[in-house]
């Protein structure tokens, strides 16, 4: 059983049985391909069946020496775990060699967030006199007003906007659908954009249902949304390293700071595990410490 054959079968498994997005599939396959290159570059090639936990530890040490961070090493190991779990489930190997391999210890880095005042400054930097400005205001209001991932934003379709109910139907990671509540301000600007801008754009074939489109009538790209946010941050004089994802972090942080239930925030963000959402409780504790420092007479 060669690496080439096994990787091809694993890719089919990810596509047909797990139904993952193409970006996720490519990332998982790249991780396995890195291991296969490492296992075959020595004098004695080691196939997937012969790979042991010792080989995997050596491989992680190797990629670490190449300069990959602990976060990148942990992500690669996560990808390899999926591969060997698949091989074990198919009875192609007797045991999963990743079970006894520990990921490198990670320092938990809290994401950058924007304050409400900074978000207001960003939105004020938009030129609302142009069609692009009207669209950009709606995009950022939806990002902040619902906590969507940028991929969910650009894939949002008009039939999945339930403005009368105050919900959006989005497709998240693993093609899982969820209903997300969206704020009134976001719905207001979304309505203005659709009525005044989008309905007057000649839409390209297969792009007719997308909510956010460019001037050529095509769905917005992740890169373009990223560029919009970077440009507005510069105009607003915000020095933080922000991206469209920063609005998602800010959405969650402001909810937690306001007393929202963690499980409710988990549901809105589409996190599979509550531990992923718990990072925002750390942000909240930092906020509380700052309040103590600023206002307590003995601090």
**Which residues are the active-site residues?**
149, 173, 245, 248, 271, 280
Please state, in angstroms and rounded to a whole number, the distance separating the CA atoms of residues 97 and 116: 48
Check if the beta carbon of residue 56 is closer than 8 Å to that of residue 80. yes
Beta bridge partners of 8: none
Please state, in angstroms and rounded to a whole number, the distance separating the CA atoms of residues 182 and 157: 15
Sequence-distant (6+) residues with CB within 8 A of 40 are 3, 46
Please state, in angstroms and rounded to a whole number, the distance separating the CA atoms of residues 66 and 64: 5
At 161, phi and psi to the nearest 5?
-100, 110
Task: Give the C-alpha distances (Å, rounded to integers) separating 92 from 11, 25, 47.
Answer: 15, 21, 12
Question: Which among 41, 38, 31 has a CA at the least distance from the CA of 10?
Answer: 31
What tokens were used for 289?
A: 């410490």
Beta bridge partners of 219: 213
């Amino acid at each position: 059983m060669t690496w080439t054959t096994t990787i091809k079968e694993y890719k089919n498994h990810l596509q047909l049985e797990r139904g993952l997005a193409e970006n996720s599939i490519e990332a998982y396959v790249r991780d396995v391909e890195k291991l296969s290159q490492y296992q075959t570059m020595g004098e004695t090639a080691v196939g997937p069946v012969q790979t042991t936990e010792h080989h995997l530890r050596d491989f992680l040490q190797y990629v670490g020496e190449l300069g990959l961070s602990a976060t990148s090493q942990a992500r690669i190991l996560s990808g390899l775990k999926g591969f060997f779990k698949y091989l074990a489930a198919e009875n192609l190997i007797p045991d999963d060699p990743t079970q006894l391999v520990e990921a490198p210890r990670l320092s938990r880095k809290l994401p950058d967030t924007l304050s409400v005042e900074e978000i207001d400054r960003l939105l004020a930097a938009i030129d609302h006199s142009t069609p692009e400005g009207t669209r950009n205001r709606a995009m950022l209001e939806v990002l902040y007003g619902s906590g969507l991932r940028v991929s969910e934003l650009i894939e949002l379709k008009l039939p999945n906007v339930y403005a009368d109910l105050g919900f959006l139907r989005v497709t998240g990671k693993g093609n899982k659908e969820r209903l997300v509540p969206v704020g009134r301000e976001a719905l207001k600007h979304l309505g203005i954009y659709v009525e005044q801008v989008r309905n007057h754009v000649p839409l390209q074939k297969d792009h007719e249902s997308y909510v956010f489109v460019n001037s050529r009538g095509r769905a917005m790209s992740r890169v373009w949304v990223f560029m919009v946010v970077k440009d507005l941050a510069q105009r607003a004089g915000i020095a933080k390293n922000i991206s469209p994802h920063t609005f998602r972090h800010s959405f969650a942080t402001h909810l937690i700071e306001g007393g929202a239930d963690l499980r409710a925030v988990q549901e809105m963000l589409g996190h599979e595990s509550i531990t992923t959402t718990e990072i925002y409780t750390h942000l909240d504790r930092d906020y509380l410490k700052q309040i103590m420092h600023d206002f307590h007479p003995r601090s």
